[in-house]
């Protein structure tokens, strides 16, 4: 009797075991479709690629538009709209062969769209804050400063599918620069019809894999698959939803609850808990960027280099990265991070190895020379944008400044307002961050050129610095070019218009069901490569 009972039970267990094995096998395989939910940590100022300037906006527009080149999963430049190109022997002329494609409304896409777009971003009336990134193109700076007509730009459609671009000098980073949103095409036919309203969801036309369907300010942005994109068959995800909330603690709770799949940043004070409880979801990687405090050197008393030097010397960077952040950031004594291509050893401040106690004494002496004393302390406001990390760093820095007799008051605002104020020069000392748009020291150092405009937040202007950077721009010898930029950075580290605090690591939370998210030095992720399992 017992033997007759055991046989069917054994078979049942075997069948159940097989079923469970098959079930788990199939539920861990990536499947087509679904919605990826990403916390970008900031409200976009715009979705017009000629009007954006932040990483939080790049996470959205980078899958709506594609330039001549685009990024792969490692953030390396690969063919985009251009399928191939030729470079002249002197490195100053690029000829691109374009693929036949259409805008999301079915209108044919041609080389003329790039001509229109690059002229548009450079027009003074467009007021594109990032336009100076394209100054390497011949004629770009003259157009952007109102000294020449847009037709003089050296971007020419040879025919509908061949584009020629001439540069002011050889630029080893040019193909990488073209992946940036400043070089994205925009639809002439839609802009001419709708004007400034062209980027509203009901009007917007794109050439990338996903198109805009909804934008509810301070809540979310939603994109859906563009079936007219040339490679739409490769897309796994149907929709993308970007949550713009800036409160890292709240976002982390939503991630733990399964409401968010990817969080682009997290509060550093949570690192011990995350490493213990969510090690597979916690992603920390080297990141090509600098966290810094620009100083408004166009207003008193910050026109005095001694004041700027004192504020920088009094910050204990090692204490910030080791005790405040604890996530592997590198204390920064240069503006350019280590590891940048063609630039082996960034220029550091001369007092880097001075014991911190001696630095504090030197900082006090500099302030005294500048006319400040216990009876007449240096007082100002330090601004930062909403983030637990920024607040904790600011509190630590204010305490360090207090030790040398400086009184600093904290002021917080949301990221969109914060950066708008910085670009207007409406601050004394503030928090900022810069992530490489392309792997080249020029992308950091150009921020301190007089001609850069709004992104030179502190309005630093040094004719010798500008001369060195302009000479580097037209120098083809990579070693000589590097030496020129090194001299320029040395001047900036002497003048301290910016206080480098640390070089970044990327800190993301990524659900284990997300496939295709690859850590990379620029922390740029194109969701077209991602799938859900």
Asked whether residue 468 is assigned to any structural domain, the reply reads yes
pLDDT of residue 341: 87
Same structural domain for residues 158 and 293?
no
Secondary structure (3-state) at 70:
strand
Residues 6+ apart with CB under 8 A from 21: none
Mean pLDDT, consecutive 10-residue stretches, the chain (533 aa), reads 31 34 40 88 94 93 98 95 97 97 98 98 94 95 97 98 96 94 97 96 97 96 98 97 94 96 93 95 94 96 97 98 94 94 92 96 97 96 93 96 97 93 95 92 95 92 97 92 97 97 96 96 95 94
pLDDT of residue 31: 56
pLDDT of residue 129: 87
Asked whether residue 183 is assigned to any structural domain, the reply reads yes
Phi and psi (nearest 5°) for 461?
-145, 110
In terms of Cα–Cα distance, which of 48, 155, 163 is closest to 99?
Answer: 163
Same structural domain for residues 373 and 418?
yes
**pTM for the structure as a whole:** 0.83
Same structural domain for residues 69 and 154?
yes
pLDDT of residue 306: 97
Secondary structure (3-state) at 243:
strand
d(Cα 432, Cα 401) in Å, to the nearest integer? 18
Residues 6+ apart with CB under 8 A from 361: none
Same structural domain for residues 435 and 521?
no
Same structural domain for residues 380 and 497?
yes
User: Domain with 167 in it: what CATH number?
Assistant: 3.90.76.10
Same structural domain for residues 199 and 318?
no
Same structural domain for residues 230 and 347?
no
pLDDT of residue 273: 95
Respond yes or no on whether the N-terminal peptide bond of residue 69 is cis (omega within 30° of 0): no
User: Domain with 436 in it: what CATH number?
Assistant: 3.10.105.10
Same structural domain for residues 451 and 515?
no
d(Cα 130, Cα 59) in Å, to the nearest integer? 17
d(Cα 59, Cα 78) in Å, to the nearest integer? 18
Same structural domain for residues 386 and 359?
yes
Domain hosting residue 76, numbered range = 37-237+511-532
What is the count of structural domains for the chain? Answer: 2
Asked whether residue 501 is assigned to any structural domain, the reply reads yes
Helix axes 478-495, 305-313, angle to 10 degrees: 90
């Amino acid at each position: 009797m017992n033997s007759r009972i055991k046989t069917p039970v054994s078979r049942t267990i075997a069948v159940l075991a097989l079923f469970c094995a098959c079930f788990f096998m199939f539920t861990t395989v990536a499947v087509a479709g679904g919605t990826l939910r990403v916390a970008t940590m900031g409200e976009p100022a715009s979705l017009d690629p000629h009007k954006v300037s932040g990483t939080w906006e790049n996470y959205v527009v980078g899958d709506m538009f594609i330039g001549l080149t685009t990024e792969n999963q490692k953030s390396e430049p690969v063919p985009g709209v251009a399928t191939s190109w030729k470079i002249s022997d002197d490195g100053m002329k690029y000829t691109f062969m374009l693929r036949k494609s259409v805008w999301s409304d079915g209108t044919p896409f041609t080389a003329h769209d790039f001509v229109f777009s690059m002229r548009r971003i450079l027009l003074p009336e467009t007021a594109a804050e990032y336009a100076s990134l394209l100054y390497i193109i011949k004629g770009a700076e003259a157009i952007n400063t109102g000294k020449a007509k847009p037709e003089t730009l050296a971007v020419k459609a040879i025919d509908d599918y061949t584009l020629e671009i001439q540069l002011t000098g050889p630029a080893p980073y040019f193909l990488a620069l073209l992946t940036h949103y400043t070089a994205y095409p925009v639809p002439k036919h839609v802009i001419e019809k709708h004007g400034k309203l062209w980027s509203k969801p009901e009007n917007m036309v794109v050439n990338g894999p996903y198109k805009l369907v909804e934008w509810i300010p301070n809540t979310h942005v939603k994109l859906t698959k563009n079936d007219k994109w040339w490679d739409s068959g490769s897309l796994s995800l149907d929709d993308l939803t970007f949550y713009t909330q800036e409160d890292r603690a709240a976002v982390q709770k939503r991630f733990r609850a399964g409401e968010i799949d990817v969080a682009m940043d997290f509060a550093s004070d949570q690192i011990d808990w995350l490493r213990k409880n969510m090690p597979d979801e916690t992603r920390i990687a080297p990141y090509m960027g600098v966290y810094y405090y620009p100083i408004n050197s166009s207003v008193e008393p910050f026109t005095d280099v001694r004041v700027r030097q004192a504020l920088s010397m009094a910050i204990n960077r090692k204490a910030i990265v080791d005790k405040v952040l604890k996530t592997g950031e590198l204390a920064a004594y240069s503006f350019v991070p280590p590891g940048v291509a063609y630039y082996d050893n960034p220029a550091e401040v001369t007092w880097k190895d001075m014991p911190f106690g001696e630095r504090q004494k030197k900082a006090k002496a500099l302030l005294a020379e500048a006319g400040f004393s216990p009876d007449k302390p240096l007082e100002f406001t330090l601004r930062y944008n909403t983030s637990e990390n920024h607040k904790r760093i600011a509190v630590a820095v204010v305490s360090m400044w207090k030790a040398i007799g400086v009184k600093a008051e904290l002021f917080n605002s949301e990221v969109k307002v914060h950066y708008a104020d910085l670009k207007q020069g409406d601050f004394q000392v503030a928090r900022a961050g810069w992530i490489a748009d392309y792997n080249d020291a020029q992308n950091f150092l150009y921020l301190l050129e007089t001609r850069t405009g709004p992104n030179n937040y502190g309005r630093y202007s040094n004719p010798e610095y500008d001369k060195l950077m302009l000479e580097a721009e037209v120098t083809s010898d990579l070693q000589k070019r590097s030496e020129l930029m090194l001299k320029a950075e040395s001047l900036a580290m002497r003048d301290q218009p910016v206080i480098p605090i640390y070089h970044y690591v990327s800190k993301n939370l990524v659900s284990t069901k997300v496939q295709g998210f690859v850590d990379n030095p620029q922390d740029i992720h194109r969701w077209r490569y991602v799938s859900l399992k």
